[in-house]
Structures are given as C-alpha cells and as structure tokens.
C-alpha cells in the first residue's frame, strides 16, 4: 500500500557535539519519506523554494519517492537552525525561517488520491486537517505534532485528533496535551480525544504503544514497549522522531493486515529507523542505508529485549 | 543459595502527590531483603536503635529473613524525610538523621559466613569494603551506591568497585562516575573500574544490563534492556531501586547457574519487584505481595516487550 505524507521539506543548520553542518536537506516529510521508502511506496506533499534543486530532488528519486506533490515556488525553502550542545535529547532552536512555508496550501496530485495510508507530519494543524479532509479514501491516518501547536493552536489540533487513527508524540507532549503528569493517565486522556492508538516516544529509552484499554483492567492498559538502541555515539538526533514514524508507518502499510502483531513489529522498525537516523548528520545515514542493515538491527533489537 | 545484604534499616517520612506517611519502616537493606526473600533465603546486616521493636522485626520474620545480623544499640534508628511532590523520579531530601548509623561498624554473624551471594547496599563505601573483605567466600558480589559517595568519597568507592561483580546504579550516577555523558561509553568506563556487569536503572523507562564488550564490535556492546511497568499511579517510589536489586539478585541466587539467560530473567524480575514497590507507601506492597502476583506480572512484562 502507498503512503502519502504531508509535511516540511527544509534546510537545516545543525550543531551537535560531533560537529556542525550548514543547510543540510531536512524537514519532517523528508526524514519520514526516506525512512518509510524502505518498506513501501511513498508520495510527498510539500512546498520548496528556488533553492531546492536537482541535487535535493535526487535524494528522493534514489529512494523511488514520488515527488509530484512537492510544489516549487518563488522564494526560499523552510529553514531551521538549531543545536544540541548541552542535551542531545532536546534541540535548542536558534532560528526558524518559514519562507515559502508561510503560505503553504497543500495541493494534492490526483495521482495521490488512492493512497490508503496518510501521514500528517508536524505542521500547522489547520493544514493537517485540510489534507485529511481532501483524502477521504485514506483508511489509516497517522500524525505527529509538537509543543508549539499544543500550546497555542489547541482548538485546531483537537479537530485533527478527531480524525486520527494513530498519534505519534513524545512524553512531554503527551503530558502537556492531557494536562496530566502520569504517562498512562495522559495517554488514556489523549486517546479519548480521537486517536485509537498512541505512540509515545521516549528518546533514548525507546517508545511505548498504547492501544485501547485493557480487557483485564490492568494498569498498563494494552501497551507495548520498543527499546531504543544504546548508541555509542549520537552524531545528530535531528529527524530521529520522523524516521521512527517512517519506519513504523511504512512497515504497517507494507503488511496485509494491521494486526496487533504488525503493530508490535512496526514499533521495532520505528526504533530501528530512529537509531540509524542519529548516526550521521541530517539524512546522510538514511541515504546510504540498506535493507539488510535494517534487518540486522531489527534482530539486534530483538536480542536486546527478548528473554530467549 | 543464601544472600547476605548489608545496608540501612531505617524510618522514612515520605510525602508524594498520593499523600504522606510518617516514620514508615524503610532503608535499602529492608527493601532489598523483602524483595529478594521471594526468591531465596536472605540474611541482613544492619544497625537499629531502640525505636526498632517487635512490630518491625515481625516484618522481616514474616518473610523468613534472617535478622541475627541486625545489631540493636542505644539511640535512634537512621531517619530520612523526603518528598516527591514535583518529580516522582527524584526525591527531595528534607532531613537525614544518621543516628545509630553514624557509628555503624558491621558485625557479621558466624552463621552468615557461608553466604555465596553478597549485596552491598548503598552505604559508606568504607563499610562496603570492610564487609566484602570479611566475607571472602562470597562468589558473586553486587552493590549499589549514590551520587553522594561518587562525588565526595571517590577513592573509597573505587576500592569497592574493584571487588564488585555487578554494580547497580542509575543513569545520572553512571555518567557522573565515568565523567562521560554518553551512556554506552560511560558504562564501559565504569566496567573498566572493576564490575564485570553493570545494571543501569532508568526509572520509569526500565533498566539496561551491560555485560562485557561485544564480540561483533557493535555499538550496543552486550546489552539487555528490561522495561518498567507503565504505572497508572505511582504512590511512592521510595525503595523501588532497592526492590529492583532484591528481585534481580534474589533471582540470580536462586538459579543453579548465573548464565546469560539467568541474567536476562533477573533483569525482568528486578523490574517486576521495582514496579510493585511503587504501588503503596513504604514497604506496604512488599509485605502483602505473593509469588503468583510476581509471576503474573512477569508474564505481563513479557507481553509488554516481546514480539510474539
């Protein structure tokens, strides 16, 4: 099954303890689609400026990603500058230039309209909702968001949540969205807002899938926890969450059925892809990745967590 | 196999968002031995004051814990007062009264001298070392420590580490001890100081066992990650780490062989016991716990983490 993803394609200037890179190709839709492309066909909806050229286009083409939904317009592409000098788990933003993204109005190519899987990457919830409504055929819709939209655009975000099957967010965002400091209670409160499943990302500690309430009334509800890789060196965490989402949703879309077992495997593939993303700056690792490497790491994750 | 544990038996006054308890029975050796007693025979070395009476003694006796090594002396028992009002993952200490603990000089009953498993709970490393040296027959020695000893008693602590098979500490302590902010690198550095295995506790995110370096040169080294239970309500996290240690070491001591598989199961039992400890104030949950409940939760942890 194909996935259509809407989100940012951008340039990032990133500084980490491992070094600095100026204007690497980035953006949530970029990381998501590169990651998901190892599992299924991916179509991108985004907007870029005149600074997005053949070299950037080639990164998508090398992974057979459909870029007909990337609109080219006058001006400069979205630009973000940040650093992780004190804390590899949290970016410090130095500069955000929306540029062509400021007036982004997603245009959906007719050829995309049969996508049964839709991913709404972290953008203005007004746009997320517009795309969701324009693609009523999507049978599984997942999305991401961030603290900014939770704090200052709550009504629009709540509308998006109503139409989501799966929401992927981190611990802090889950608690902020629910106004509750207990993760299990917060997860349940967020799921009451719409999403049938919630993937809470814990950074270096992995991620937890919450889906439904427990038939046994257990504290855990129905939960599944995937580990993260204990990494010797995190070169650049930018895009790790989007790469997680790409592995998670890409694997789900590749399966004949979205069974509980498929969700568990999807959590592992998400963690696997997130771990690769951190190993090099920007999309460097994703561009050189191979499917055998993914499978090998999947097996390592299994060894890391399974009793036998 | 029996375990001998040396550490504190104390009274705690604890405030959490769930309420407040005055002077509950506590201390690292108390939590450790109650937890380990579900797996093997436990012998305690500690010191208490005149405020430790029959009612407290009965808590140990109900679990068949050997208390002949608990020295009764004039004065008051160790007392700690703390709260977790802002953050359930980190206690804020309001008061510490060493009392009889200030002049604690561990006395080891002759009947304890055949213990092949020795646990050095979080006390002055000078005392940990003294006990370790007085029990040369111990074939597996594990220990705990805390930021205070790492910062201000480093030389004494380094001597203890040389004689440890397994060190159990948390993330922050691992990084502090190694002077390295990357957990994998820090774990390797700490293991170079003596311990053959390291259990790093991540609070609500579980724990990672590091043991040896990888034969394949993989980033992860040889690691195993056990989850923590996503808990609906954490009533009181006091003693969760010591209960983890009790489940972990108690299970290991109960096995005919300390194989890699035994270590993996021990990590799960550690997490299981830590999760129970948080459910009620002080030792309340440990006192009412049954082995079938432990096994049931072990199975839940397996479901929580295993692909199939």
pLDDT tens digits for range A88-114: 878 899 999 999 999 999 999 999 999
Give the pLDDT confidence score for residue A220 in this predicted structure: 41
Where do the H-state alpha helices sit in A194-290?
240-254, 260-277, 284-288
Whether A206 and chain B come into contact, CB under 8 Å, resolves to: yes
Share of chain A above pLDDT 70, in %: 97
Average per-residue pLDDT for chain A: 94
Torsion of CA B297, B141, A301, A145, to 10 degrees: 70
Interface predicted TM-score of the whole assembly (ipTM), two decimals: 0.90
State the pLDDT at residue A237: 94
User: What pLDDT band is residue B120 in, cutting at 50, 70 and 90?
Assistant: very high
| Alpha carbon distance, N-terminus to C-terminus of chain A | 33
- Alpha-carbon distance of A247 to B108, in angstroms, equals 56
Name which of B90, B184, B190, B205 to mutate to probe chain A: the one with the most chain A Cβ atoms within 10 A of its Cβ. Answer: B205
Average pLDDT rounded to a whole number, residues A147-151: 93
Mutate to test the interface with B, among A185, A305, A308 (most CBs of B within 10 A): A305
Rounded to whole angstroms, the Cα distance separating A12 from A160 reads: 27
| Rounded average pLDDT over A64-81 | 97
| Cα–Cα distance measured from residue B66 to residue B70, given in angstroms and rounded to the nearest whole number | 9
Which tokens in the block code for residue B201? 């506790």
Measured between alpha carbons, how far is B171 from A181 in angstroms, rounded to an integer?
A: 21
Average pLDDT for residues B281-305, to the nearest whole number? 96
A233 contact B CB<8A:
yes
Question: Mind listing the pLDDT tens digit for each residue in B191-232?
Answer: 999 999 999 999 889 999 998 654 444 434 589 999 998 888
pLDDT in tens, B9-53: 999 999 999 999 999 999 999 999 999 999 999 999 999 999 999
pLDDT confidence band for A221 (50 / 70 / 90): low
CA B3 to chain centre: 13
Distance CA A90, CA A134 (A): 34
For the segment A128-134, the average pLDDT, to the nearest whole number, is 96
Q: Which of A227, A228, A255 to mutate to test the interface with B (most CBs of B within 10 A)?
A: A227
Reported as a single tens digit per residue, the pLDDT across B228-281 is 988 888 899 999 999 999 999 999 999 999 999 999 999 999 999 999 999 999
Model confidence pTM above 0.90: yes
Token reading at A152: 């200052």
How far from A108 is each of A32, A43, A67, B297, CA to CA, in Å?
18, 10, 11, 48
**CB proximity under 8 Å: A 77-106 to B:** 88
* Contact yes or no for B232 and A264 at CB 8 A: no
Q: Which two tokens stand for residue A202?
A: 């814990």
- A79 closest CA partner among A96, A63, A64: A96
Angle B5-B6-B8 from CA coordinates, rounded to 5° = 120
CB contact under 8 A, B232 and A261: no
pLDDT tens by residue, B48-96? 999 999 999 999 999 999 999 999 999 999 999 999 987 887 889 999 9
Burial class (CB in 10 A: 0-12, 13-18, 19+), B3: buried
CB B118 within 8 A of CB B69: no
Pick from A223, A234, A302: CB nearest B304 = A223
What does each C-alpha distance from B227 to A192, A197, A198, B204, B243 come to in angstroms? 25, 20, 18, 8, 15
Choose the closest CB to B184 out of A231, A304, A307: A231
Chain A residues with CB under 8 Å of B84 CB are none
Q: State the DSSP H helix or E strand holding residue B288, giving kind and residue range, or none if neither.
A: helix B284-288
B206 touches chain A (CB under 8 A): yes
A189 in reach of chain B (CB within 8 A): no
Whether residue B232 and residue A184 make contact (CB cut-off 8 A), yes or no, is yes
Evaluated on CA atoms A30, A32, A34, A40, the torsion sign reads negative
Cβ-defined contact of A206 to B225 (cutoff 8 Å): yes
Query: Which range, of A44-53, A187-196, B68-77, B211-220, averages the lowest pLDDT?
Result: B211-220
C-alpha to C-alpha distance for A205 and A183, rounded to whole angstroms? 14
Distance from CA of A145 to the nearest CA of B (A): 23
Q: Considering only the beta carbons, identify the residue of A187, A230, A234 that sits closest to B208.
A: A230
Is B62 an 8 Å CB contact of chain A? no
Mean pLDDT confidence for A137-159 = 95
Which residue, A282, B169, A210, B280, is CA-closest to B178? B169
- Between A and B, how many residue pairs show a Cβ–Cβ distance under 8 A? 97
Residue A185 with chain B: CB contacts under 8 Å:
232-233
Inter-chain touch B219–A231, beta carbons under 8 Å: yes
Q: What is the pLDDT of residue B211?
A: 87
Inter-chain touch B264–A307, beta carbons under 8 Å: yes
Q: Comparing C-alpha atoms, which of A294, A219, A41 is closest to residue B304? A: A219
In degrees and rounded to multiples of 5, residue B70 shows phi and psi of: -90, 110
């Amino acid at each position: 099954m194909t996935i259509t993803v809407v989100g940012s394609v951008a340039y990032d200037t990133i500084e980490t303890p491992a070094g600095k890179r100026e204007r690497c190709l980035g953006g949530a839709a970029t990381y998501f689609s590169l990651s998901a492309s190892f599992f299924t066909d991916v179509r991108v909806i985004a907007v870029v400026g005149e600074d997005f050229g053949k070299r950037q286009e080639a990164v998508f083409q090398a992974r057979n990603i459909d870029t007909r939904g990337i609109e080219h317009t006058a001006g400069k592409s979205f630009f973000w500058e940040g650093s992780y000098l004190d804390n590899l788990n949290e970016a410090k933003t130095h500069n955000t230039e929306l540029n062509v993204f400021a007036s982004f109005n997603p245009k959906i190519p007719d050829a995309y309209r049969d996508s049964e899987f839709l991913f709404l990457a972290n953008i203005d919830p007004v746009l997320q909702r517009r795309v969701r409504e324009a693609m009523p055929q999507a049978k599984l819709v997942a999305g991401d968001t961030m603290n900014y939209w939770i704090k200052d655009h709550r009504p629009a975000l709540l509308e998006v949540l109503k139409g989501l099957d799966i929401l992927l967010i981190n611990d802090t965002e889950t608690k902020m969205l629910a106004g509750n400091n207990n993760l299990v209670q917060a997860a349940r409160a967020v799921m009451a807002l719409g999403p049938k499943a919630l993937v809470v990302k814990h950074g270096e500690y992995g991620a937890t899938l919450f889906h439904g309430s427990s038939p046994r009334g257990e504290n855990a509800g129905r939960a599944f926890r995937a580990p993260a890789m204990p990494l010797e060196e995190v070169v650049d965490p930018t895009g790790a969450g989007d790469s997680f989402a790409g592995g998670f949703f890409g694997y789900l879309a590749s399966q004949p059925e979205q069974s509980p077992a498929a969700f568990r495997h999807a959590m592992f593939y998400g963690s696997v892809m997130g771990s690769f993303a951190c190993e090099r700056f920007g999309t460097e690792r994703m561009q050189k990745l191979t499917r055998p490497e993914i499978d090998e790491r999947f097996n390592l994750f299994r060894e890391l967590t399974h009793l036998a």
